Structure 1
Amino acid sequence: MSAAQPARASEPSAIEVLRQNFAGTVGSSLATFGRAMRTGVESAKIAAIDAAGLRLQWRETLIQAWFLIKVTAVPGVLMAVPFGVIVSAQVGNIISELGANALIGAAGGLGVIKQGAPLATGLLLGGAGAAAIAADLGARTIREEVDAMKVMGIDPVQRLVVPRVLAMLLVAPLLNILIIVIGIAAGYLVSIAALGVTPGSYWESFGTFTTQADVWVSIGKSVLFGYLVVVIGCQRGLEAKGGPRGVADGVNAAVILSVVSIALVNVLITQVVAMYLPTKLA
């Protein structure tokens, strides 16, 4: 018994195990965040230097942009329709009970422009774009193509990351505008067909309460979401290890981190806009 007691006493307690796991998780998360920030800053700096020196890889950028358009355009249309229908139907029912049917156009349109379109854009880019980018770069990493580029003196960030960042920043506002148009059109049809709103009152209220600032904020949010998505996807892809299983884990992490980051940043932007521009945008 005396020999068993010291061994039992040396085992860590449950609280100690939880503390170590929590500290390790927090430390790993902060380290990952730091590496992602470094990748984002480095890619922006290199893109600015290449643009000033007229050395941007426009061909690769357009190829990546076309790929992103192919994987997000049709899903974007399919997501825009339910966004516009749900916003107009839910808000329209409440407004109809208050006897203010003339305001359905403003409520539905602003809901799509300020929240529905940028969120749908971010989720599409985070689901399809981040997964594709992480899978591509992860496969290159485990095949040691990235290491070979470093040996030859080629910067992987300049060669692989910058074109994808530029492509994402090009596609994000275009996809956002597409979702706005389709979402508002879907909401308009629902309001006319199901809620009994006249076309004139719908567009009059929409034009009265919607400003250019609303559209610019929506586009700005989509660009920011796209930048977060592409940085996370590139960072997880370049750090993939452990063979195909590592690539799959990197893709999964890229999608989850992108969605969580978009949700948190959207809440922050909404609160800041509501605090500082309540009359124009809130």
Structure 2
Amino acid sequence: MRALRENAADTVLSSLGTLGRAARSGFVATRVVAEDLARLRFQWREAMQQAWFLITVSALPGVLMAVPFGVIVSAQVGNVVHQLGANSLIGAAGGLGVIKQGAPLATGLLLGGAGAAAIAADLGARTIREEVDAMRVMGIDPVQRLVAPRMVAMLFVAPLLNILILVVGMVAGYIVAIAALGVTPGSYWESFGAFATPVDVWVSLIKSVIFGYLVVVIACQRGLEARGGPRGVADGVNAAVILSVVSIAVVNTAITQVVTMFFPTRVA
């Protein structure tokens, strides 16, 4: 029992320490980005290169994830709504499901998987090769040179990927509703327009940006803290992906509760 208590205490303290370091890293990186933008010395070229890399590793998987997600939402919701005799509400239920939960969650999971792994692996490899230490010796801030461009790139790519998944998911759900469930096109879009509001889209975009911010902070922090050679890099990548996914799930629950309180679904 004593060993169990000590292990639990060490785990809690280690988790709090990791949370504190990640929060500090995020604050410092955000401050550096703001200062570089204000002084017109931000590395836009590096940021655009990182943004293009993130797009190449996440755009196609995003489309492939959006199609089955839209189909599943329309099929499951359509079966329930059909039993209630309210086929005209399939558009509203399916569309809101994709906008409010499907698109931002899929965006966060893709960025937390492909994006976090790529960033953590890159920074981890630089760390174990002592490139980061060499930067500090030469007076170059690693946060300014490595973290800031990746943060801006992630915040730029996240809403774009969210919009892509949103559009593809809704089109897939629409096709299923028309072809398999017998819903008329006019009824589908009329019910969707009656319930959906611009606030739903803005909340979806804001959630994707928040998820992207969490992913890039966690990935950069785990990459810069990599130790112990290639095994340390692998552990850092694994931790970055797991922490990103868990953080996204927790934050999404909190945001959903807050948004539901202040912006309840409009009844047509």
Q: How many residue pairs are counted as aligned between the two chains?
A: 267
Superposed counterparts of 1:1-282, under 5 Å: 15-280=1-266
Distance across 2 between alignment mates of 1:47 and 1:246: 28
Contact 2:107–2:208 (CA<8 Å) still a contact in 1?
yes
Distance across 2 between alignment mates of 1:160 and 1:178: 27
Distance across 1 between alignment mates of 2:84 and 2:4: 53
Structure 2 letter corresponding to 1:194 = A
Distance across 1 between alignment mates of 2:265 and 2:203: 14
Runs (4 or more) in structure 1 with deviation over 4 Å come to: none
1:211-245 per-residue CA deviation (whole Å, 9 max, x = no partner) reads 11000000000000000000000000000000000
Distance across 2 between alignment mates of 1:217 and 1:83: 19
Distance across 2 between alignment mates of 1:103 and 1:280: 13
From the superposition, tell whether residues 280 and 235 of structure 1 become closer, same or farther in structure 2 (CA, over 3 Å): farther
| Equivalent residue number for residue 7 of structure 1 | none
CA drift of 1:207 comes to: 1.1
Structure 1 letter corresponding to 2:142 = P
Distance across 2 between alignment mates of 1:277 and 1:209: 12
Structure 2 letter corresponding to 1:100 = A
SS in 2 for 1:240: coil
SS in 2 for 1:124: helix
Contact 2:195–2:265 (CA<8 Å) still a contact in 1?
no
Structure 2 letter corresponding to 1:240 = A
> TM-score, normalized by length of structure 2?
0.98
Distance across 2 between alignment mates of 1:116 and 1:82: 11
Query: How many percent of aligned residue pairs carry the same amino acid?
Result: 77
Distance across 2 between alignment mates of 1:159 and 1:52: 16
SS in 1 for 2:206: helix
Structure 2 letter corresponding to 1:55 = R
SS in 2 for 1:97: helix
Structure 1 letter corresponding to 2:216 = V
Structure 2 letter corresponding to 1:145 = E
In structure 1, stretches of 5+ residues that fail to align are: 1-14
1:123-167 per-residue CA deviation (whole Å, 9 max, x = no partner) reads 000000000000000000000000000000100000000000000
Structure 1 letter corresponding to 2:261 = M
SS in 2 for 1:106: helix
Structure 1 letter corresponding to 2:56 = K
Distance across 2 between alignment mates of 1:209 and 1:280: 6
Q: Which has the larger radius of gyration?
A: 1
CA drift of 1:279 comes to: 4.3
Structure 2 letter corresponding to 1:85 = V
| Equivalent residue number for residue 9 of structure 1 | none
> TM-score, normalized by length of structure 1?
0.94
